[in-house]
Amino acid sequence: MPQSAKLSRLQKSAILAGVAALVAGFVLFLGFYSITAPNESIASTLVILVFLPSVVICENLGLGHFSIFGQSTIPDWALLTVGILWTYLVSLVAVIAVRILWSCFRQTTGGLRRMFTARRFTASRNA
């Protein structure tokens, strides 16, 4: 395999990681924004998508127990770390899914373009 092909794959991986990091950063920005925003929908969405899975992961790892009504024994640093990792993983899966869908779309449109070009060519030849 030529060296330039390895470099382009490395660059693609770096771009993918950068996009995933940007998405994770955006989700964290929404989290900090939801603390100060009067809009309740942003905060409830963040709680459902990031905080609750982080709590479940922390409890299953044995880092403590979470209670809505009383004292939570999960350390804040553990909850924040798991929340960041969870956001990063979800963003990574979303980026991979979008890339797969985009490549399928490109293949489909390329096939359609070739088909219509061939039809136009045959129609012009028959005319």
Domain-embedded: residue 111: no
Domain-embedded: residue 24: yes
Residue 35's pLDDT is: 67
Domain-embedded: residue 36: yes
Domain-embedded: residue 115: no
> What range does the domain containing 20 cover?
3-91
Other Cβ atoms closer than 10 A to 117: 10
Residue 43's pLDDT is: 64
Residue 1's pLDDT is: 46
d(CA 69, CA 90): 29
d(CA 19, CA 51): 22
d(CA 88, CA 53): 13
Predicted TM-score (pTM) of the model is 0.53
Domain-embedded: residue 74: yes
Domain-embedded: residue 124: no
- Nearest in space to 90 (alpha carbons), one of 5, 30, 1: 30
Domain-embedded: residue 96: no
d(CA 39, CA 33): 10
Q: How many domains does the chain have?
A: 1
Instruction: Render each residue's pLDDT in the chain as its tens digit; 127 residues.
Output: 455 455 566 667 677 777 777 777 777 777 666 666 666 666 677 677 778 888 888 888 898 888 878 888 888 888 889 888 888 888 888 888 888 888 777 777 776 677 777 777 777 777 6
Residue 10's pLDDT is: 66
